[in-house]
Amino acid sequence: MFDFLIETLTRNGKGIHAYRACAEQGYTAAADRPDAAAAMFLLARIAEAFADINERMPITATDVDSAFARFGDHVQRLNAAWNDGTEAARLAALNHVAGEMAQDAA
Amino acid sequence: MFSNAFADRELMAEMTAKMLLEVNAVHFNSDKPYMFTSGIASPVYIDCRKLISYPRVREALMDFSVSLLLRDIGFEQIDAVAGGETAGIPFAAWIAQKMGLPMQYVRKKPKGFGRDAQIEGEITEGQRVLLVEDLTTDGGSKIKFCEALRRAGAVVNHTIVVFYYDIFPETKTMMAKHDLTLHWLATWHDVLRVARKQGHFDANTLKEVEAFLNEPLEWSGRNGGSTEIMK
């Protein structure tokens, strides 16, 4: 369900431009897919925040790998919840991802 | 106003490189490569924002910039100076001050509504605006800022930066495609030359930096980065 965002990051080199492209696709998908809008929106916001925070900063290849792994974890969690199919699993996954975002923003 | 001195271009490049090294704006690290916005891995990183904290350095650089602009573009060819948010804004202010011109700045994203939503300051139809930023890697942000200024009615054909990476031939081609001429004070090649001359950094680091400057995409691929410039 959400793997296309990982593919976008990979295809675009995992740099800031890649995260901008990922955010754009995520926001578009949130508008187009009411059944997964909240999850798409969260992933798009994560990608946008990464690009905003790190643009023109001395980010290392290690930082980029670590951010990519973290984004991949979010995608996997949401994929699993959407495959599970229950509303409870989806809500729990959304709350988990949103909680981590809040911790990062604090 | 500026000092009215027209220094030799090579001397300005060398002096600019010296100043960048002196204020520790230049970082070389081949063990832990940096990642450009385009996904290219690189052993070099430069922080031109540091320059604003050094009054003598910034004064010299802005004098260089103005003399370069007057020589290359002309004395009466620019009507206003626009800084790109955020690093370009202080440099634009100093250049505008020295040239006695109005100033604007361009936001990365629109705020509010209308064709001027990305511009702060007054802009008039047909105004010939110089776009100022601190540096250029692949030129992508210049194009975006330029498009925003043009949407607001400005005529934008020139942009100036303190530092130009000068490692991707595509940069100049892309700028030319958008009718934009890039002006700059120094490049990585100038910094490497001065770093060698003055004994900054060890020989291995400088060798690795030179390898990157000669073949950036190959170096990037060998160090975990992209092998093509992503837009």
Residue that the structure tokens 């230049």 belong to: B26
Q: Closest-CA residue in chain B for A53?
A: B37
Q: Which domains are present in chain B?
A: 9-222 (3.40.50.2020)
A18:B39 CB<8 A? yes
Cα B192–chain centre separation = 17
Per-residue pLDDT at B1: 47
- B14-23, B47-56, B72-81, B220-229 — which is least confidently predicted? B220-229
Task: Give pLDDT, residue B7.
Answer: 86
pLDDT of residue B231: 60
Q: Which among B39, B45, B140 has CB closest to A12? A: B39
Write out chain B residues lying below 8 Å of A56, CB-based.
37, 87
For B94-159, give the DSSP string: HHHHHHT--EEEE-SS--SSSTTTTEES---TT-EEEEEEEEESSSHHHHHHHHHHHHTT-EEEEE
Contact (Cβ atoms closer than 8 angstroms) between residue A15 and residue A51: no
Asked if B129 and B78 touch (Cβ cutoff 8 Å), the reply is yes
The pLDDT of residue B173 is above 50: yes
Query: Cβ–Cβ of A61/B40 closer than 8 Å?
Result: no
Mean pLDDT (10-residue bins), chain A, 106 residues: 96 92 97 96 97 90 93 97 94 97 89
Q: Quote the pLDDT of residue B168.
A: 87
B77, B128 in Cβ contact below 8 A?
A: yes
Report how far residue B160's alpha carbon sits from residue B141's, in angstroms, rounded to the nearest whole number: 13
Amino acid found at B34: Y
Q: Which of A15, A55, A59 sits opposite B226 (nearest CB)?
A: A15
The residue with greater pLDDT, B172 or A25, is A25
pLDDT in tens, B188-198: 999 999 999 99
For B221, nearest residue in chain A (alpha carbons): A13
Vertex B152: Cα angle to B63 and B172 (nearest 5): 55
What confidence tens digit (pLDDT) does each residue in B33-83 have?
999 888 899 999 999 999 999 999 999 999 999 999 999 999 999 999 999
pLDDT at B219: 94
pLDDT average, residue stretch B130-151: 93
